[in-house]
Structure 1
Amino acid sequence: MDPRVRDLYKRIITVGRDYPTGLSHVREKAKREFFKRANLHDGLEINRAINYGRHMVREMTGIIQFKKYRALKQRYEDES
């Protein structure tokens, strides 16, 4: 296994801990996507898949930050 792929999976699991739908949902979807692309052998295709995975990690991080922002905003609006 390519070390970049292993690192990507670790990143997904780490980010998935704070994801709104939960870690089990994120892990299930990540495994499905990784197994779908398990037969890639071309270096260019592997790079594209890794870049797509990194993009999804950034999207997940954005959703988490938005969720935290909304929670903070809601807490402070209730107090005033």
Structure 2
Amino acid sequence: MFLEKVADDAELLFLGREYPLGLAYFRPRLHKAFAANAGLRDEAAIRRGLERAEFVKKEIEALYYLKRYRTLRKRYVPDA
């Protein structure tokens, strides 16, 4: 379970580079969220935290693809 947490942390940090407000905004909030849950010992609570991390990853990916779509549309579709 510890390795899952570390992997989620690394993936979220990597995805945070493309966060609309930037890594400087995202990184302290990510650290704060993980620090707030550092004391969890109940396996069910840890699982819920990992599920929430997966949800956040999917949301950041969606923001990335939306940003990419809008950029390409501006570039190739006139008057968009």
Confirm or deny a common fold (TM above 0.5): yes
Please name the residue that 1:63 is paired with: 63
Please name the residue that 2:15 is paired with: 15
Please name the residue that 1:44 is paired with: 44
Aligned residue identity for 2:50: I
Unaligned 5+ residue runs, structure 2?
Answer: none
Give the superposition deviation at 1:53: 0.5
Unaligned 5+ residue runs, structure 1?
Answer: none
More displaced 10-residue stretch of structure 1: 5-14 or 17-26: 17-26
Give the superposition deviation at 1:77: 1.9
Question: TM-score, normalised on structure 2?
Answer: 0.91
4+ residue segments displaced more than 3 Å: none
Identity of aligned residues (%): 27
Give the superposition deviation at 1:67: 0.5
Aligned residue identity for 2:20: P
Aligned residue identity for 2:70: R
RMSD: 1.5
